Amino acid sequence: MNSYSPTERSRVKRIHERGRYDKETVFAIVDAALMCHIGYIIKGQPYVTPTFHWREGERLYWHGSSASRMIETVEQGVPVCFTASLLDGIVVARSGFHHSANYRAVMAFGTAKLVSEADKEKSLEIFMERCFPGRWPTLRPVTKQEIKATKILSMEIEEASAKIRTGPPKDDEEDYALPIWAGVVPVRTVIDPPVDDPRVLPGVAAPAHIRGLRIG
């Protein structure tokens, strides 16, 4: 199974030719996004919480402490929408109507569960190594109390779809004759050089896993 099967829940409905369901595409977008937005319901009210995530195979993980409202109910398993989106450009057309965006987005559906106490430390290590390869062994070791205070949620992807737009605007054919500028304004997320904590000890410089940090 190299693709998710589109269902009523996951099928891209508007401009369906932008929809993609193959796992390679879905995973590439998930992995390229530094942050995600988690949608969940409490007492009929939707909530959307931004957080960091990572992926292991078909399973998504995210840091639960910033979504503590979710923690309260998640132990029974709650339906979740995981959305990762990357804005690549603003698409500027000759008519207002055809203005658009170049983007890569994934919506993934499943049931969120808490990662067990036994599995949490390993998960945290994988998360840290995803962000900063080689950093984990250099840190002050994690304590039992800290592990206890951390919540990690995980969700096996039941269904997912990706939606991608690339390229120049698509104007109405007759509008291409108009002397109006059109094109794409590229948008990027960049990482600037690291800023030392004022209390870093003298002679301790940012290591390679920080200086070489890249997004995705």
In sequence order, what DSSP letters do the residues of 32-73 get, joined into one string? H-SEEEEEEEETTEEEEEEEEEEEETTEEEEE-GGGHHHHHH
Smallest separation, CB 22 to its own copies (Å): 21
- In the bound state with its own copies, the residue whose beta carbon lies nearer, of 118 and 188, is 188
- In the bound state with its own copies, the residue whose beta carbon lies nearer, of 77 and 207, is 207
- In the bound state with its own copies, the residue whose beta carbon lies nearer, of 59 and 69, is 69
Residues in the chain: 216
Give the Cα separation of 172 and 174 in Å (integer).
6
Q: What SS3 class is residue 80?
A: strand
Smallest separation, CB 2 to its own copies (Å): 25
- In the bound state with its own copies, the residue whose beta carbon lies nearer, of 32 and 35, is 35
Give the Cα separation of 147 and 143 in Å (integer).
6
Smallest separation, CB 55 to its own copies (Å): 17
Nearest of 36, 42, 24, 30 to residue 79 by alpha carbon: 42
Contact between 105 and 122 under an 8 Å Cβ cutoff? The reply is no
- In the bound state with its own copies, the residue whose beta carbon lies nearer, of 28 and 41, is 41
Smallest separation, CB 182 to its own copies (Å): 4
Smallest separation, CB 116 to its own copies (Å): 18
